[in-house]
Structure 1
Amino acid sequence: MKKLAKACLLITAVLFAAPKVHAQISIGVTISANVAPPALPVYVQPACPTDGYLWVPGYWAYDNDSEDYYWVPGVWVAPPTPGYLWTPAYWGYAGGVYGFHAGYWGRHVGFYGGINYGYGYGGVGFGGGAWSGNTFRYNTAVVNVNTTVVHNTYVDKTVIVNNNVTVNNHNSFNGPGGVTAQPRPEEMAAMKEQHVPATSQQQSHERTASQDKSQFASVNHGKPNNAAMNKVGGSHFTPNGQKAPRNNNNNANNNAANNGHQNNDAAKQPNVQQDGHANNNAMKTTDAEKQDQQPAQQQQHVQQQQHNQQQQHVQQQQHNQQQQHSQQQHKQPQQQHKSAPKPHTEQKHEK
């Protein structure tokens, strides 16, 4: 019911919004929220891990069930086809709601709300590199690449906005109180071109973020520790560019993220009342099973001891018999070699 009401509200906003706003919000809006997204966090871009990957800036996504924003880390990804560039997602305000405009792939970069995401996405177009045939060349003036594996590079500092390659401001949405940019003619043209939605890897990347409770704004207060990644499923990086430990609780946090951020610690700690009875019953069952197993284990132990003793006794008897037989065989040859006693002769004495 809540989702239906939001959908109706969004449709109303689209129908009655001003024409200039309608041009933005009518394309690619997939979700809406009643509150503005948090400010964009400032973070260091990890190095491009391999040739041909393109940068997808991090963004705030929204979970309707928990009514909370969560941070999708910036990440290097493979484009769906050579020659395509990424137009980032953005939030736009119109008719009392904030609408999410999904990003897309295309031959040219379209309008992304004038948001300065940094690293080539300064608010208009993209200055982080360009395609040369089927080869992508990276502008190392604004993007970070591993030059030991990526050799197609150049330097063009003219694309740097206000001497800042990261972000100039923290505005995360287009509209009153945020960025007030409007689509340029070239951006409008790009919006009408054939587009390809986010790849399956990108969708998986966003889904993983939605299952990590630490990525939600209500938990990290707008400062996610996992700010960026070098590739989907790769290394996590903190805002200052240091490698962050992997969160092994993603699976455990799945229900928390999708069901209103319920505290998931009860599933880990038997003393929490939420799952206490089930855990206590499981512990009692385990104790009972152990008690039942003890007599059987003791009986098996006694039987094993008896078997071992019998086996040792039989082996000892066999050893003794073999030893006696060997001794008898050794004595017989000695008796045969003894010389026979000489016959006794009497000497006669002549008188």
Structure 2
Amino acid sequence: MKNFLCRQSFVILLALSMIPAAAMAQVSVGIGIGVAIHTAPPPLPVYVQPPIPGDGYMWTPGYWGWGAAGYYWVPGVWVRPPMVGVLWTPGYLGFAGGAYGWHPGYWGPHIGFYGGVNYGFGYGGVGFVGGAWHGGAFAYNSAVMNVGAGVVHNTYIDRTVINNNTVINRTSFNGAGGVMARPTGMEQTAMNEHHFEPTGEQTQHFNAAAQDPGQRFSANGGHPGNVAMDSVNGRRYNQQGRIANGIRSGQLTAGESKNLENREAGLNQEIHNDRQANGGRLTPQERQQVNRQQNNMSRSIYDDKHNDQTAHYGNNEVGQRRYNQQQRIANGLNNGSMSAGQAGRVEQREQNINRSDAADRRANGGRLTPQERQNLNRRQNGASRQIYNDKHEK
């Protein structure tokens, strides 16, 4: 259905005469009282695309939505298209007439204009280079899409679409102060084709993000706990986001996060083994068992974050380094550059360093000797290198 009304929480009143005519067809104006957004959206967070959960899924990029509490992050997610042969044109925010307006995404036979916003993972601002339909099957370009290990087999590699000389632009909106792009001729044609609105699964995903306080910019400062998901209601990536937030806030100690990440790594390996044994799928019994284990993990995360143990770093050089290391680990979990197993191993080192620091201070009236300080710094250097290597491992 072309020119459909956006079902998300955006209800925006714009000065329509200020909007480029080529983009007019995609502006969503809600019925009833409009709310003009006068605050620029935050930059797009940097994150790693989760592996595809199976054949037939298509990537929909994350973006900043707007609700009663301000901007909130809608995680990027793999979803099933409504039918064979359609592609997803992402929505985007456009600045015109002194306000920011939402141009909703849609399904269609070709990629339309999405504001020139570089969402990544095949959506570089114009078109889509992450794959293409061939007959009734979608082929994935594994040069830009995370197709996982043996999950899908209809793939190809085209690295010519990667521009290594391009500076990554995290600007999240079109218009003055943002991306100054206008629709190409092909995009204008695509905008006038027959479109299909987001699926029910996508709408559920939008609504869940809008209702999650942790996704709000006011709460996360541009670092949402859940940046991307392998599927709607995908839990493993949501758990990692909750752990990352606990590390960042100090609600989780190094020991607590180590234990949680080791459990998460074990569960991930179990899922991997089960899928390998069943042609990339989980049996109903295995899925039930995974959900039960994830429920237990969820309760453990909650309990650990709400017990009387919190991370205390101290107002000193060693304490500041410990704090900085934890922030780097949290960022690695948030953007996917660190796995649960890697985070668990680093947190084991951090826990040992913390124990040594506490023992040395108890033995010296709350202070560290120069030799003890030197030893702790050397161990922190080692942990720092491990964090860097884990986050940049290919």
TM above 0.5, yes or no, is: yes
Aligned partner letter, 2:221:
H
Q: Name the structure 2 match of 1:89.
A: 91
Q: Kindly state the Cα deviation for residue 24 of structure 1 after the two structures are TM-superposed.
A: 1.6
Q: Deviations over 1:242-288 (max 9, x none)?
A: 933489xxxxxxxxxxxxxxxxxxxxx9xxxxxxxxxxxxxxxxxxx
* Alpha-carbon contact 2:55-2:152 (below 8 Å) kept: yes
* Alpha-carbon contact 2:60-2:77 (below 8 Å) kept: yes
Q: Kindly state the Cα deviation for residue 25 of structure 1 after the two structures are TM-superposed.
A: 4.0
Whichever of the two has the greater Rg, that structure is 1
Structure 1 residues 234 and 30 mapped into 2: Cα distance closer, same or farther (>3 Å)? farther
Q: Name the structure 2 match of 1:131.
A: 133
* Alpha-carbon contact 1:46-1:144 (below 8 Å) kept: yes
Q: Distance in 2 between matches of 1:211 and 1:144?
A: 28
Q: Distance in 1 between matches of 2:12 and 2:159?
A: 46
Q: Name the structure 2 match of 1:27.
A: 26
* Alpha-carbon contact 2:89-2:107 (below 8 Å) kept: yes
Q: Kindly state the Cα deviation for residue 197 of structure 1 after the two structures are TM-superposed.
A: 0.5
Q: Name the structure 2 match of 1:69.
A: 71
2:109 aligned with 1:110:
no
* Alpha-carbon contact 1:70-1:217 (below 8 Å) kept: yes
* Alpha-carbon contact 2:139-2:154 (below 8 Å) kept: yes
2:238 aligned with 1:244:
no
Q: Name the structure 1 match of 2:121.
A: 119
2:64 aligned with 1:49:
no
Q: Kindly state the Cα deviation for residue 22 of structure 1 after the two structures are TM-superposed.
A: 3.3
Q: Deviations over 1:94-147 (max 9, x none)?
A: 101101011000000000000000000000000000001110100000010123
Q: Distance in 1 between matches of 2:212 and 2:243?
A: 11
Task: Report the count of equivalent residues.
Answer: 231
Q: Deviations over 1:49-68 (max 9, x none)?
A: 100100000001100x33x0
**Structure 1: gaps spanning 5 or more residues:** 1-5, 248-268, 270-351
* Alpha-carbon contact 1:30-1:102 (below 8 Å) kept: no
Aligned partner letter, 1:186:
M
Q: Distance in 2 between matches of 1:92 and 1:180?
A: 10
Q: Distance in 1 between matches of 2:226 and 2:112?
A: 28
* Alpha-carbon contact 1:43-1:228 (below 8 Å) kept: yes
Query: What is the TM-score normalised by the length of structure 2?
Result: 0.55
Whose strand fraction is larger, Structure 1's or Structure 2's?
A: 1
Q: Name the structure 1 match of 2:210.
A: 210
Q: Distance in 1 between matches of 2:46 and 2:103?
A: 21
Equivalent position SS for 2:207: helix
After superposition, where does 1:1-351 map in structure 2 within 5 Å? 9-10=13-14, 13-14=15-16, 16-17=17-18, 21-30=20-29, 32-63=36-67, 65-66=68-69, 68-162=70-164, 168-237=168-237, 243-245=240-242
Query: What is the TM-score normalised by the length of structure 1?
Result: 0.62
Q: Distance in 2 between matches of 1:177 and 1:162?
A: 24
**Seq. identity, %:** 54
Q: Kindly state the Cα deviation for residue 7 of structure 1 after the two structures are TM-superposed.
A: 7.0
Aligned-residue RMSD, C-alpha: 2.3
Q: Kindly state the Cα deviation for residue 23 of structure 1 after the two structures are TM-superposed.
A: 2.3
Q: Name the structure 2 match of 1:314.
A: none
Equivalent position SS for 1:137: strand
Q: Kindly state the Cα deviation for residue 160 of structure 1 after the two structures are TM-superposed.
A: 1.3
Q: Distance in 2 between matches of 1:7 and 1:53?
A: 29
Q: Kindly state the Cα deviation for residue 33 of structure 1 after the two structures are TM-superposed.
A: 1.3
Equivalent position SS for 1:186: helix
Aligned partner letter, 2:198:
A
Q: Name the structure 2 match of 1:347.
A: none
* Alpha-carbon contact 2:13-2:101 (below 8 Å) kept: no
Q: Distance in 2 between matches of 1:30 and 1:234?
A: 31
**Structure 2: gaps spanning 5 or more residues:** 1-9, 31-35, 245-305, 307-394
Q: Distance in 2 between matches of 1:71 and 1:103?
A: 15
Equivalent position SS for 1:219: helix
Q: Kindly state the Cα deviation for residue 225 of structure 1 after the two structures are TM-superposed.
A: 1.5
Q: Kindly state the Cα deviation for residue 236 of structure 1 after the two structures are TM-superposed.
A: 4.7
Equivalent position SS for 1:237: helix
* Alpha-carbon contact 1:60-1:70 (below 8 Å) kept: yes
Q: Deviations over 1:25-51 (max 9, x none)?
A: 442324651111111001000000100
